[in-house]
Amino acid sequence: MDGNIARPDRVLTLLRAASRTFAVSIEGLPSGLREQLAVAYLLLRVSDYLEDHEEISPAAKVPLLELWNETLGHPEMVDRFLSVLAGVPYRENDPEALVARESATLLDALARFPLPVMRTITAHVSTTTCGMARWQARGPRVETECELDDYMHHVAGIVGYLVTDLFALHFDAIERRRDRLMPLAREFGLALQTVNVLRGLRKDYERGWIFVPRTFCTANGISREDLFRASERGRAMQVVADLISKAEHHLQSGLAYVHLIPRRLHRVRLACMWPLLFAAKTLAVSRDNPAVLSAEVKIGRPSVKQIIRDTTLFGWSNRWLEHYATRLIGNGSAQVRWDRLAEGRRAG
Residues 6 or more apart whose CB falls under 8 angstroms from that of 297 comprise 198, 199, 282, 285, 286, 289, 291
Between CA 64 and CA 48 the distance in angstroms is 12
Q: What is the pLDDT of residues 14-60, one digit of tens each?
A: 999 898 788 999 999 999 999 999 999 999 999 999 998 888 888 89
Between CA 346 and CA 324 the distance in angstroms is 16
Between CA 43 and CA 71 the distance in angstroms is 11
Look up residue 93 and give its amino acid: N
What b/e readout covers 324-346, taking b as 16+ CB neighbours within 10 angstroms? bbbebbbeeebeebbeebbeeee
Per the confidence metrics, is the pTM higher than 0.75? Answer: yes
Q: What percent of the chain has a predicted confidence (pLDDT) above 70? A: 93
Q: What is the pLDDT of residues 78-121, one digit of tens each?
A: 999 999 999 988 877 888 999 999 999 999 999 999 999 999 99
The residue-averaged pLDDT of 191-218 equals 91
- Domains along the chain? 1-137 (1.10.600.10), 140-348 (1.10.600.10)
3-state helix, strand, coil in the chain (%, to 5): 80, 0, 20
Question: What is the sign, positive or negative, of the torsion defined by CA atoms of 93, 94, 100, 106?
Answer: positive
Residue 3's pLDDT is 42
